[in-house]
């Protein structure tokens, strides 16, 4: 057996150009190579990762993520993606949910799952009843609302699509304090918007999938190394091994069509990428800009132009001594939303401590200068973190993502396009497409896999 010649490589099922190297494009490329296609991945940046990447801070020498990305136990496609590329071990995943929620007065509540194997949502009930940031009246009103959400079999029905989650909560007995101190703890970081803006369907989906259907659905996971190492760099190394080609630092200028068939992708440097099939994993505005005007005018593409976006701002603060006795925590009654202790998470050396403050739905903070942000948030961190009162700030930087996620506004479902397009050999991926998920890493990975599967099905039927 050992003297037999190696098996001849199988002929590829076809060639595919994947446009865009974010999570959607990377997952599409990986799935297509696994299915047997010859893939070329084109990305305008010199690295992969899209809106999830890291860089080395020039002064501290620390790996800094462009945003604090977390994933939950319900994010099965994303964890499968990490497992496939061999970096799941570079993350930390809770064995059961535990979230500390602090108030500026020093009151700490814990939302956690019981160690006993009780079914959802009973696994959360004891910690919820002990949760100190709601009154008993608010708790007793929240439980029926949670049960109504759990039992809703058609969360995508039109009235929930058109209504804000805030309006639904108010109509179902939730006080403003209950919304601020409980419901928004999940809505704002997960949907990057407030309950006043997101549609009730998205709110239902979040609570059903994360909290109410599976006792491990909300278990928190996060990268323990830089995001680029965990995702983009790993895929950049793996794809060529699996037979794919990378065209990094190359931007697509337009798609050339013959009737309803894409014949090539013209790059900004004047070269052409020609393939049998194409997958666009670009943002909707960038995707539309590639099409000839007559194609953009087709009714199919109207929704893509209607997307609006929400910003995220991350504050990175280095102190000369430890200031946070937790890995991560949420805060109520404060402009600070979530704090992540990067020194603990990434096992960085002391004696100082590096923390990240994650601010979602950050329209108020987007236009602020660094000096303005320092004036607002450093005193606030001193107020909510008592140990920071005797600490010195050694470094403070801000990372802003203006178009971090699309918004799940009422009626926004019409903007989420399917993977198939009017162009016979063009397919769409991206968290903004019709994934059934909000704008998350999970949605992006699902979209890439789905686009690859739709392309494969189309090829098989021809």
Residue pLDDT, tens place only, 324-345: 999 999 999 999 999 999 999 9
pLDDT of 280: 98
Residue pLDDT, tens place only, 118-165: 899 999 999 999 999 999 999 999 999 999 999 999 999 999 999 999
CATH 1.10.405 assigned to 122-213: yes
Mean pLDDT, range 30-58, rounded to an integer: 96
Of the chain, the end-to-end C-alpha distance in Å amounts to 39
Residue pLDDT, tens place only, 333-390: 999 999 999 999 999 998 999 999 999 999 999 999 999 999 999 999 999 999 999 9
| Domain ranges within the chain, ordered by starting residue | 15-52+228-306+412-461, 54-92+221-226+308-406, 122-213
Q: For residue 367, what are its two tokens?
A: 């236009």
pLDDT band per the 50, 70, 90 thresholds, residue 6: very low
pLDDT band per the 50, 70, 90 thresholds, residue 265: very high
pLDDT of 5: 42
Q: ∠ at Cα 443 (43, 331), nearest 5°? A: 110
CATH of domain 54-92+221-226+308-406: 3.90.660.10
Alpha-carbon distance of 270 to 250, in angstroms, equals: 10
3-state class (DSSP) for residue 277: strand
Residue pLDDT, tens place only, 272-314: 999 999 999 999 999 999 999 998 888 899 888 888 999 999 9
Residue pLDDT, tens place only, 247-262: 999 999 999 999 999 9
Distances from the Cα of 289 to the Cαs of 284, 295, 428, in angstroms? 9, 10, 14
- Radius of gyration of the chain from its Cα atoms, rounded to whole angstroms: 23
* Res. 48: pLDDT tops 80: yes
Instruction: Specify the pTM.
Output: 0.95
Q: ∠ at Cα 120 (118, 125), nearest 5°? A: 80
Eight-state DSSP code of residue 7? P
CATH 3.40.50.1390 assigned to 15-52+228-306+412-461: no
Alpha-carbon distance of 397 to 373, in angstroms, equals: 10
């Amino acid at each position: 057996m050992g003297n037999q010649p190696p098996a001849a490589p199988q002929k590829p099922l076809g060639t595919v150009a994947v446009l865009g190297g974010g999570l959607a494009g990377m997952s599409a490329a990986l799935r297509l190579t696994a299915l047997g296609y010859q893939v070329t991945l084109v990305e305008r940046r010199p690295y992969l990762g899209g809106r999830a990447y890291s860089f080395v801070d020039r002064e501290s020498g620390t790996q800094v993520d462009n945003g604090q990305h977390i994933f939950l136990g319900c994010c099965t496609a994303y964890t499968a993606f990490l497992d496939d590329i061999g970096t799941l071990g570079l993350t930390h995943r809770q064995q059961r949910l535990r979230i500390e929620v602090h108030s500026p007065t020093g009151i700490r509540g814990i939302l956690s799952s019981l160690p006993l194997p009780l079914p959802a949502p009973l696994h959360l009930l004891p910690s919820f009843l002990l949760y100190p940031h709601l009154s008993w009246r608010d708790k007793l009103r929240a439980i029926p609302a949670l049960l109504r959400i759990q039992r809703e079999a058609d969360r995508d029905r039109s009235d929930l699509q058109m209504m804000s989650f805030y309006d639904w909560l108010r109509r179902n007995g939730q006080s403003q304090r209950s919304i601020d101190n409980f419901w928004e703890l999940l809505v704002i970081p997960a949907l990057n918007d407030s309950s006043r803006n997101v549609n009730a369907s998205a709110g239902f989906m979040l609570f059903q999938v994360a909290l109410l259907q599976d006792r491990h659905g909300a278990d928190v996971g996060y990268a323990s190394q830089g995001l680029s190492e965990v995702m983009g760099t790993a895929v950049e190394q793996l794809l060529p091994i699996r037979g794919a080609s990378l065209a990094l630092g190359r931007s697509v200028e337009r798609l050339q069509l013959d009737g309803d068939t894409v014949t090539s992708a013209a790059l900004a440097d004047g070269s052409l990428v020609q393939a049998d099939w194409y997958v666009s994993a670009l943002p909707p505005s960038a995707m539309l800009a590639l099409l000839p005007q007559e194609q953009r005018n087709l009714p199919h593409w109207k929704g893509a132009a209607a997307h609006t976006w929400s910003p995220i701002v991350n504050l990175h603060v280095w102190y000369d001594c430890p200031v946070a006795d937790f890995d991560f925590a949420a805060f109520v009654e404060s402009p600070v939303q979530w704090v992540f202790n990067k020194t603990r998470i990434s096992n960085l050396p002391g004696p100082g401590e590096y923390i990240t403050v994650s601010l979602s739905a950050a329209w108020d903070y987007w236009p602020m200068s660094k000096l303005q942000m320092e004036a607002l948030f450093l005193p606030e961190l001193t107020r909510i973190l008592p140990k920071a009162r005797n600490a010195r700030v050694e470094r403070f930087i801000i990372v802003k993502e203006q178009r971090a996620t699309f918004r799940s506004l009422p009626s926004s479902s019409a903007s989420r396009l399917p993977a198939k397009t009017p162009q016979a050999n063009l397919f769409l991926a991206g968290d903004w497409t019709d994934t059934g998920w909000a704008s998350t890493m999970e949605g992006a990975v699902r979209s890439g896999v789905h686009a690859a599967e739709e392309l494969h099905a189309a090829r098989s039927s021809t």
